[in-house]
Chain A
Amino acid sequence: MMPDDGYCSKKQGVPERKPPLDVLGVCIARDVLGLANRREYEVRKYTRPSLPGFADDERVEESKRLTDSDVEGKTRYLRRRKLDDLNRTCEEGLLRSGSEWLILELRTVSYEYWEAEYGGKTHYFLANTTTEREMRRAIRRRGAKLRSLRKIRIDDIPDTPMMVEAACDFIRKRYGDKVILLQQKEAIWRMDHFGNVRLNRTLESESMNRTIDRYFRMFLENLGCQFVRMPPDIISDAWQMWGDSPAHYVQEYYDYAYACIDDIISGIPGLEESLDRRFMEFSAQIEAMRRRKMKSRKNSVSRVYNQLEKTGDADLSIKSAMRFKNWANNPMLEAELDGVMGKIWRDRTDGKADSEIAWKLIESSAENGVDWAQTEYLGMLRGSGDYGKMLEAAERYASQGNNEAIGFVGRAYKNGEGVMKDVKTAEMWLEEASVRDVKWAVQEYMQLLWDSDPDILVEKAERFAGHSAIAMGFLGRAYRDGRGTGKDPEKAKECLSDAAGRKVEWAKEELDALIGSV
């Protein structure tokens, strides 16, 4: 395609990369970064603090990156049961991570702990993921003789205030004032599957809240850092839950907290006022939900899909989506429901599918900032061959922070879709998308480097191999063929089998071929 045929859009730069984060926390911090509408931040190290003295260096869960499948609870590494030791620290991991900011969330303080005495010392482990039998076995494996083992609450651990101080000292030294403390509550209100909000107040949740509140105050005073408030009457959402934990909140919370974190990190002028306003708006939303005037986003959307799945009647689900939209009272939810209806109109199999309506609805949803609808819309534009429009939209969405849109731009430059082929620019965009963990973009990026620039390939593949199985597979290929590096069949086998283990089909085939040839 010629550069002067009008297809060449205004070149916008690759969106600025957000500073990488470390996360010390459990589900809430993870969900805020993984379930919000936008997911722009790179999480370098994600560890579960077993409190103050932090988690240990070798056994704590260390995530490479948060991905969609992590927050859906499907990957194995988060399922592995691990022991967190209070007496050790994960300081080294945090020191090495290279991130600027830390997100801190203190849910683990409300958990129970194992107090294990062995080797002349007392050790403390988080008790929520380990049974007594596992504890005993793990300690035996360390070759130590167990003297006593019992379950205790955090307040029974001696010297916790000292540990808090020590932890704060470390955090201050490592991150300065670039720390964000997420406030945390066990929700005592709960939205059930039908959208009714009920008081669900138990002794346990109240006593957990008491502990969490106290430690939150201790940390806040000690660190003097920025914080993100949680409304006292936060609501947990039955559609959002795994199990019956009251710590999986309505979708709106994640968007609110993400926006606050974004505000703090980008240091907008009038920060305090903005945070205050966000809080006010969000608590008004929560209140409206509690008064049954508004449903949560997850609730409405899941109910529509659920109805579709159960009855198979697209008309009915579209009707209920319309009904929810009338109730919605929330522009984001209205936009999302538009997208849902568009998807149903497009994908319905009863012969009434209407791509024109679908197109309109998904477009309006995308224009109103619904992340997944933007991706769908770009996909539809690409499918229809309207590359110029796709590129324009993708660049716009990318500047709004949509990760997949960045990949779309990169692919457009790579294949010359709506613009002159430009390998260098494509590399830039695709790399950014890979950093933000768009799976197919990693594949495209690696393929591009494989074809054009094998020297860089190895370096980049090594960098992404942590969070992307595809990059690992390419690394294996590079070692196998000696492309950009020396031939090393052993290493190639290792990398390919790792990628195959993480469900990359071609890696499995190539691994078999490699083993066969050897």
Chain B
Amino acid sequence: MDGNTDEKIVFDILGGAPDGAILETMLICGFGIGNVIRAEFGAGKLEPPAYPSEWLAIDIRSIACDHYEVAGGNGMIKYVPCAGSTVRSLKLAEENGAVHRIGFTDIPDLGRYMLDLSAFAEENYGGNVIAFDLRDPEWIATPGRNVVLAGDPDAARRAGDANLCSSELTASLRCRCIRTPSNIIGRGKDSDCMPRYSEGFYAYARDCIRTITSGNPEAGRELRKLGLGVADYMDAARRAPFLSSASFLAKVDEEKEAAADWDGTLAMLLRKMMAAKSEMLKAEIGGRIGIVWRERDDGKADMKKAVYLFRKSADSGVRWARRELLSALWEDGSPDALLEMVSRAYEYSSEGDRDAMEFLGWAYEDGTGLPKNEEESKKWLSKAGRNPEKMSMWDQ
């Protein structure tokens, strides 16, 4: 391969409506793009390009997208990918009848179409086929370099469709599939449908493609290792801002100790909250502000505010704030507060929270918010591990 190492590998791309994502990835990785083949299900046999390249990349992302179901004039129904066409344009084409938008898995006879695709790839490219699964990232790196979870329900559905599509294709084609790791981090979006990934991903894609095209007999092992590497990379990238927040919090606590009076502490914490970059960090500081509101002894203590802040903080996932919230609600003592305490304690203990179990135990013992019940109380307390005899050694 001495002479060929510098030669650019050119890919034909097969997809429903190959969008920017795969083109951009290929170009960033330094590969060439030959023909772009658009596949519409039910539109008849796919024609191979006049000058096919050596390799074919199947763009799963654009195959497993939503489709328009178009009743053609000739009585045939075909399925056109939504990207790249609009209802208007489809209706304007004279022979077309009704147009509906349906999901990928709603296409009838999907398996047959998948087989058609693999047959096309097999006939024209032999074994030189790579399936490429580019997914919408769930984690997004914000401009402030925080990594946040962007739960997009639509992306969830698409990811499910893509999983189905890639497993069907790789099973029938026996080709290699480059999988986007499920913890992929994106850098926001250019447009509605085109994800941009963080840098590590492109390096991974390039390495994968090179490994596959080099014909290395150990390629399978190599690809698995690359997959391992990129997943670790994304994990590390996600963790980095999160971990640095520990030192941030340590500093906050230090300054809190040093602050002269309660108002000063409050002002400092609010300032820090504004500066905090991640939701988690904001929640942590919010909980600390709650403590100030509860503990200040200059006559301005406000339990309501404290409870509000603890609740918010606990809902954002701060563990210690849960305990504070429960005890604040307990102290409040009003029927509403107690009801909330009990229901929250049950919720948290269902997630294995020891403190919440302990609260339940006390509540039963005391008859606070719950009917007095010795047995239940003992049960919960021992569950919480207050009884050393019963403490589990399995909490590793």
Contact = CB atoms under 8 A, between A and B. Distances in A.
A73 B393 contact: yes
11 contacts: A78-B393, A192-B351, A202-B317, A203-B242, A217-B232, A247-B396, A276-B223, A276-B224, A284-B164, A287-B160, A287-B163
Interface string B70-99: 000000000000000000000000000000
A284 B317 contact: no
Contact of A232 (B164, B183, B224, B245): B183
Interface in B261-289: 280
Nearest to A274: B220
A209 B160 contact: no
Contacts of B149: 199
A107 B394 CA distance: 14
Contacts of A243: 352, 354, 385, 392, 394-395
B177 A232 contact: no
Nearest to B159: A287
Contacts of B160: 287-288, 291, 293
A261 interface: no
A207 B243 contact: yes
Interface in A271-299: 271-273, 275-277, 279-281, 283-284, 286-288, 291, 293
A245 B319 contact: no
Contacts of B319: 202
A284 B159 CA distance: 9
B351 A107 contact: no
A206 interface: yes
Kindly list the 6 A-B residue pairs having the minimum CB-CB distance in the complex, ordered from nearest: A272-B220, A243-B395, A244-B352, A242-B394, A232-B183, A284-B163
A241 interface: yes
B216 to A, nearest CB: 11
Given A232-B234, A281-B167, A242 B392 contact: yes
A291 B135 CA distance: 15
Given A210-B239, A232-B181, A128 B224 contact: no
A277 B227 CA distance: 13
B228 interface: yes
Interface residues on A, range: 35 or more
Interface of A: 26-27, 73, 78-79, 81, 107, 128-129, 183, 190, 192-194, 199-203, 206-207, 209-210, 213, 217, 227, 229, 231-233, 238, 241-245, 247, 271-273, 275-277, 279-281, 283-284, 286-288, 291, 293
Contacts of B164: 284
A192 B319 CA distance: 16
Contacts of A273: 220
B353 interface: yes
A98 to B, nearest CB: 28
B235 A280 contact: no
B252 to A, nearest CB: 14
Given A73-B393, A281-B167, A232 B156 contact: no
Interface string B344-362: 0000001111100000000
Contacts of B231: 229, 231-232
B246 interface: yes
Nearest to A81: B393
Interface of B: 149, 156-157, 159-160, 163-164, 166-167, 170, 177, 179, 181-183, 219-221, 223-224, 227-228, 231-232, 234-236, 239, 242-243, 245-246, 280, 317, 319, 350-354, 385, 392-396
Contacts of B280: 201
Contacts of A190: 351
A199 B139 CA distance: 12
Contacts of B242: 201, 203, 206
Contact of A210 (B156, B166, B243, B395): B243
B220 to A, nearest CB: 3
Nearest to A129: B393
The CB with the most chain A CB atoms within 10 A, among B164, B235, B394, is that of B394
Contacts of A280: 166-167, 170, 177, 179
Nearest to B182: A233
B68 to A, nearest CB: 25
B317 A245 contact: no
B284 to A, nearest CB: 9
A220 B242 CA distance: 26
Nearest to A288: B160
Contacts of A241: 352
B182 A231 contact: yes
Contacts of A201: 242, 280, 317
A213 B232 contact: yes
Max chain B C-beta neighbours (<10 A), residue from A79, A81, A291: A291
Contact of B239 (A200, A209, A231): A209
A81 B392 CA distance: 12
B396 A206 contact: no
A73 B177 contact: no
A238 B221 contact: no
Contacts of B227: 229, 276, 279
A282 to B, nearest CB: 11
Most chain B beta carbons < 10 A, residue from A78, A183, A201: A201
Contacts of B353: 244
A311 B123 CA distance: 61
Given A26-B396, A183-B228, A281-B167, A232 B235 contact: yes
A207 to B, nearest CB: 6
Contacts of A202: 317, 319
Given A227-B228, A275-B220, 15 more contacts: A73-B394, A206-B243, A207-B243, A217-B232, A229-B231, A232-B182, A243-B395, A244-B352, A272-B224, A273-B220, A281-B167, A284-B164, A287-B159, A287-B163, A291-B160
B182 A287 contact: yes
Contacts of A207: 239, 243, 246
B385 to A, nearest CB: 8
A210 B163 CA distance: 28
B395 A244 contact: yes
B239 A206 contact: yes
Nearest to B239: A206
Nearest to B353: A244
B142 to A, nearest CB: 16
A242 B383 CA distance: 10
A275 B354 CA distance: 38
Nearest to A110: B396
B395 A245 contact: yes
Given A27-B396, A202-B319, A192 B182 contact: no
A287 B166 CA distance: 14
B198 to A, nearest CB: 14
A283 B135 CA distance: 14
B182 A203 contact: no
B239 A128 contact: no
A238 B352 contact: yes
A229 B351 contact: no
A233 B351 CA distance: 18
Contacts of A192: 350-351
A23 B227 CA distance: 26
A178 B226 CA distance: 22
Contacts of B385: 243
From A275, A283, A293, residue with most partner B Cβ within 10 Å: A283
Contacts of A286: 182
A78 B167 CA distance: 42
A476 to B, nearest CB: 30
B223 A193 contact: no
